[in-house]
Structure 1
């Protein structure tokens, strides 16, 4: 998943009436829509996703307001971090996808946040114990040993992760049934074990599956163009017959329903003994 955006989207809004527009019109519009960054206003009226009960952005903002030095890993276009009203005196963000690095820089630099280009699979380019708070919303890869290294003793990792088999109703519509090891990837129990092996303590771990609805084929195309790891070889031309079949299904039966998977991590690096 290298060079891919950091955050699968959470489209919102919309009614439940299938679009009367033609397949070709909807697909052409979706292909023309820009995919950089994580602005999901394009999905308004075309797709919905229920949000987790823990309200991550608000809870993250509360943590940031109390922190002295923070790091937001795989910040995407910086939109989630920028939503916080108060940022720490030292605030840094990393991002690995070049298009999002530029977008995040433009958005976050005016807020005093340093944006550092850093691939998801590379060590974090910071000194040991540099931050008292590390955050991330939908990281492509959570490298817990690196997170533990850059946290100060007593520091916190507060993040919302994508869980197992997220939106697999859509994935398997195009790719067919996936093997168990793929469906169970990103399982919170596996990630918990990785975090504890890195020396982090689990203060809280919650998981939810959430209903998603796609009201027209354009929303499906835009989603798969934007969230590139869902169907890695996706293109309209390659999947045109399946897309047309799905368009006809939505027109006849109503929204295509899928379910996202999310879990919340609240981890602590143990304080040094006195």
Structure 2
């Protein structure tokens, strides 16, 4: 099948730089959009931050989100496991009084027992056992997680199985794990909002940023499937997949 020039022009977006956790290159241009959730993680986090004495932001990325939650408590720390993000987070957060800790394993965090009365976590893995060790009695844990079925439609469109390593991860599992490690869940919710791509270039840019979705992704390997998605977008105007999100607020007991 002869492929049109527009298709190849879009594929050049795979070469665009990506840093921190910033999708504005495609989202601000209106090339990708997300259906709204019925909750706001930011609106839930902000009053908790204002009332905390010490807090930890797990998986701070480039520090973009945490920096918007000021004013901070007296003691604020952040962790980041993705090495390229660490200097970005340090440059943004350390002038604000936040100490940024590079980490290797969720099960071995560089903090004292019961050090934080608030721990927030957006889209970052965690160990419930280690979480309970570093949070104070009656401390609050707030997390928004990406579920294991997130963007399964991308895998379907490319003819790739979902990664079995994450497929089990959902609200029920997370609540059960926290309950088994001396947390009392006060609020939880799970939803599957639509994520919409308006051109195939936005999709390849997105896949480059989330390599765990299709671990062996390359344009060369999936060019025929990508062209089918391109043709679908030309026909109906978009390519839709379902995200998988859940939120939990829990107290250490």
Alignment-derived partner of residue 231 in structure 1: 214
CA contact (8 A) 2:106 2:130 kept: no
CA contact (8 A) 1:57 1:83 kept: no
CA contact (8 A) 2:107 2:130 kept: no
CA contact (8 A) 1:78 1:107 kept: yes
Once the two structures are superposed, the pairs formed by residues 113-262 of structure 1 within 5 Å of their partners are 113-139=98-124, 141-178=125-162, 184-262=167-245
What SS is found at the alignment partner of 2:182?
coil
Distance 1:38 1:182 in 2: 22
Alignment-derived partner of residue 67 in structure 2: 82
Equivalent residue pairs, number: 248
Distance 2:144 2:34 in 1: 15
Quick one: structure 1 residues 21 and 150, their matched pair in 2 at CA, closer, same or farther if it must change by over 3 Å?
A: farther
Task: After the TM superposition, list the runs of 4 or more consecutive aligned residues in structure 1 that deviate by more than 4 angstroms.
Answer: 181-184
What SS is found at the alignment partner of 1:165?
coil
What runs of 5+ residues in structure 1 fail to find an aligned partner?
A: 1-19
Q: Which string of whole-angstrom CA distances, capped at 9 and with x for unpartnered residues, describes residues 136-176 of structure 1?
A: 1011x221111111000110101101123111011222243
Quick one: structure 1 residues 178 and 230, their matched pair in 2 at CA, closer, same or farther if it must change by over 3 Å?
A: closer
| Cα RMSD after superposing both structures | 1.8
Q: Which string of whole-angstrom CA distances, capped at 9 and with x for unpartnered residues, describes residues 3-44 of structure 1?
A: xxxxxxxxxxxxxxxxx971111111x122112211221122
CA contact (8 A) 1:200 1:269 kept: yes
Alignment-derived partner of residue 13 in structure 1: none
CA contact (8 A) 2:61 2:85 kept: yes
Distance 1:66 1:120 in 2: 29
CA contact (8 A) 1:95 1:120 kept: no
What is the TM-score normalised by the length of structure 1? 0.85
Distance 1:121 1:268 in 2: 20
Distance 1:53 1:135 in 2: 19
